[in-house]
Amino acid sequence: MRTRKSFRLEDCADDAVAVADAFGVESFIPIGYSMGGPVAQLVWQRHRDRVDGLVLCATAPYFAGRRPERLSFLGLTGLAAVARVTPSQARGWITEQVYLQRKSQMLADWAVEQISSHDWRMILEAGRAIGEFSSSDWIADVDVPTSVVITMRDPVVPLRRQVRLFEWIPGAEAFRVDGAHDAVVAKSARFVPQLVRAIDSVVRRSA
């Protein structure tokens, strides 16, 4: 994304509906993985008449629960503000030298390539938005069939929060995957069949 506007998850949700509008789709089932989970939840909150059901994967109703997490996301807020007034060449250098060199030891080449193609400021602002997100006050009001795909060995989105999301949504069904946060890629042979079952479950219940 290349925009001077601040990154907002609400805008992502509205964009998803705008895509549906462009294709003439009146209602649909948002499927959200990780950060896409809050986006899918917000699609339901902001456009309820357009949502037939939800499939939420490796995600949670909130992401900054404990004090160290809140401080970490608060740091992203400050970095994002600095990045907004930093020249684009400097932002590119920061991405390459400070972030990607560290992450290249942890991530596969394809992941590093994807990250390096983004605007560093937008990545920081996306992190800030995730830290500020919480559906705790309204997620129990979800009134459409919902499936929650839970990554059981996830170090990024703790298992307890994924389970909490499942427990807070009335009538939700859980589909478990024995894998970490990158299971959609690293354990695709396990993840994809469960995702298909989760979608089928929502389609069947929404019919």
Instruction: Indicate whether 165 and 118 sit together in one domain.
Output: no
Measured CA distances, 178 to 37, 58, 139, 153, 181 (Å) = 19, 12, 25, 6, 10
In a domain, 4, yes or no: no
Angle at 135 between CA 31 and CA 42, to 5 degrees: 40
Instruction: Indicate whether 71 and 109 sit together in one domain.
Output: yes
Q: What are 24-73's pLDDT values in tens digits? A: 999 999 999 999 999 999 999 999 999 999 999 999 999 986 655 544 54
In a domain, 2, yes or no: no
In a domain, 135, yes or no: no
Record the pTM.
0.80
Q: What integer pLDDT is reported at residue 75 of this predicted model?
A: 47
Q: What integer pLDDT is reported at residue 133 of this predicted model?
A: 95
- What average pLDDT does range 103-117 have in this prediction? 63
Instruction: Indicate whether 113 and 17 sit together in one domain.
Output: no
Instruction: Indicate whether 192 and 152 sit together in one domain.
Output: yes
Give every CB contact of residue 155 below 8 A, 6+ residues apart in sequence.
180, 181
Q: What integer pLDDT is reported at residue 69 of this predicted model?
A: 53
Question: At residue 116, does pLDDT exceed 70?
Answer: no
Q: What are 128-172's pLDDT values in tens digits? A: 889 889 999 999 999 999 999 999 999 989 999 999 999 999 999
Last residue of a domain, one of 130, 160, 183: 130
Question: At residue 94, does pLDDT exceed 80?
Answer: no
Q: Which domain holds residue 57?
A: 9-62+140-206
Q: What integer pLDDT is reported at residue 84 of this predicted model?
A: 52
- The count of structural domains within the chain is 2
In a domain, 36, yes or no: yes
Strands 146-151 and 31-33: unpaired
